[in-house]
Structure 1
Amino acid sequence: AVRPETDAARYPASGGREVYAAANPSGDLVLTDRCAQPVLTRVRWTDDAGLLLEGTCPPASAGPVELVLRHSGHQEENTVAVEREAEAFRASVAPGAVASLAGVLPLAEGRWFPFLRERGETDPDRYLPLRLAPQLHAALPSHQEAGGRRFTLQRRFHDRLCLESGSVLAVRERGAYGQRRLREAYTAARGGALREAVLYASFDGRQYSDSPRAVHEELARRDTGAAHLWVVRDQQAAVPPGVRPVTLYSAEWYEALARSRWIVTNTHLPEWFERAEGQYVVQTWHGTPLKRVGRDLEGTRHADAAYMASMPRRSAQWSVLVSPNSFSTPVLRRAFGYTGEVLECGYPRNDLL
């Protein structure tokens, strides 16, 4: 058995390997012959809601290294610069403000595992996981609030560091019960007075992009006086000034679906959505259907009978379908079971061209 206060020890071996001596989950001493791996000796939150990581890593190569945060689900990656001196390394992460192609955003909801890798390496099998020295175990989990959500440092698989990004939804909005209550509130609000507002959604709130963005920019240029609301999923889209972000699945989102006079979307609205009297829904879709979509998936391995059966009911809630060209019009009508008005005018997103 190892005393709790005993530090881990590492002994260099040939070929980039090491013998690592530390306690296992049962508290017994284990000697491990392994590839040299980084070990964190200090982990702490900073005053500005940042995360400081310090540790040691025997140099496996002479090249520079970088820290990568990798999502356990969809494998998204974010890289962070690393300061290195001999075997010591240091990195600072701001989980509530990470640079991305969409701007500076919080880390998406879920578990993120940190690794060290040679700069430019893209093979995950060559990444080195960050492991916690035994003396750090007792200090976890620890929490920090930043960017409208809670971040939690915790251990996984005994000694792996894990950073969990929490939900942006309020506690009462989470889970099946909370969502059922909000849907009931949506149904009750749908018959009320409409607001002079436009609700935009691009790829289910994942982006500020595509034809909904083009429509917004033109309406903003015309200064119509309508309020502009943009659906944002998990804080993963940055919207410009003058646009109010509306969190997907929040109470505000349900209320906006029920009471916004105009809705502009490029994907399907929820199956339970029902257009209110006086509401106008513009379906721009998002491409020329050279692949199979909607009901045209019938007979393929991707076919979903319930999804295909819902197409006519969903499309009946559209006031108009924007078609990019004469080829797409009959395909979209057939694929979605749509019988309403089609505006075959090209996509707003392409007008710039």
Structure 2
Amino acid sequence: MSAQNFRKTGWPLRFFILILFSAAAFAQPIATQSDQLSATEFARLINDFSEPGGYFFSDNFTSNEDSYLTVVDRLHELGAKGGAYIGVGPEQNFTYIAKIRPHIAFIVDIRRQAIIQHLMYKAIFDLSPTRAEFLSRLLSRPLKADAPGPKDSVNDIVSYLSTVPTDDNFYAQNLSLIRKRIEEDFKFPLSREDKESLEYVYKNFQLLGFDIGFDVNLRFNRRFGRLPNLRELLTKKDPNGKEGNFLASKDDYDFVRDMQHRNLIIPVVGDFGGNKALAAIAAYLKKHGYTVSVFYVSNVEIVLFDYGVRNIFPDFVNNVKKLPINERSLFIRSTFWFYRHPEQLPGYRLCTSLQNISAFLREYDQGLYREYRDLIK
């Protein structure tokens, strides 16, 4: 139709042009999601989003959750994929990241030592093209010519390295490389306290090897019963007998390593009930067009309800309300067996469960969550 015909039918040409411009505007992406971050930006996000380090009574060298794989199939069934991942704690995050395949991930922990440990992991990923090399460097046990290859199982790798003694020279060489990676390649200056934390964490992995666990001094085990060590976490199978740790699969390991290489797994010092870290992450995700697919809260909520001088669970909820979510966004939560969660499986010390975040917020506003036990009814 010509411009003249538009005028004859009462359609001004300027209206037609407006429609074209509007269509073009809607066709453009409304967000600028990055497929990688520069090292400078990575370090800036850690520093800008982090709060002062807080206290927790355990070192949390590894997860304490023997049930972490029990929800993986359900995550897939519910469409938990892509988007942004938020988590807490050590290496179990890598398994959830490998299964969900997010576009960006933030790991928030109240202890600064935990963030230094994640930077250590990032450096070891960077230095280690294979799963065997990753565990070799993590535990300071040098590989030999007969080391497992890319197609070998995680059980084969663990069994092999269990026979290899630690090497002090290998430890010292790797510690130096890890420091250099963090400070020079990741552009993250380490304070004297940070360097001490890094050496403390890395030395414990060397000394304890596959026996390292959640609590190095076993106070937690004496209170809550025996919890899994690194060996058990790595070789754990889901209820259907399927291996699922991120080191059980070359594809999973390669995915997590690639995200680390692109600086898209960002550790942040923060309290879930604090006034900075989660709010800053929420603002960043909104600005760049990300939606939270999964928020792994572990069992932190018991601390938010019951630990310290006041109940800060409402502050946590207010932070969750700031996050960009949709009707498929999920919490991953873990609870100890003595709370008798209805989904508790026989033979596990903990129960890992899922909850829709939107449903959680609606129920919170209805006054249904007044104490920790209300979350697990």
What band does the TM-score fall into relative to the shorter chain?
under 0.3
Greater RCO, CA 8 A, separation 6+: 2
Give 1 or 2: higher helix fraction.
2
Give 1 or 2: higher strand fraction.
1
The normalised TM-score by structure 2 is 0.24
The normalised TM-score by structure 1 is 0.25
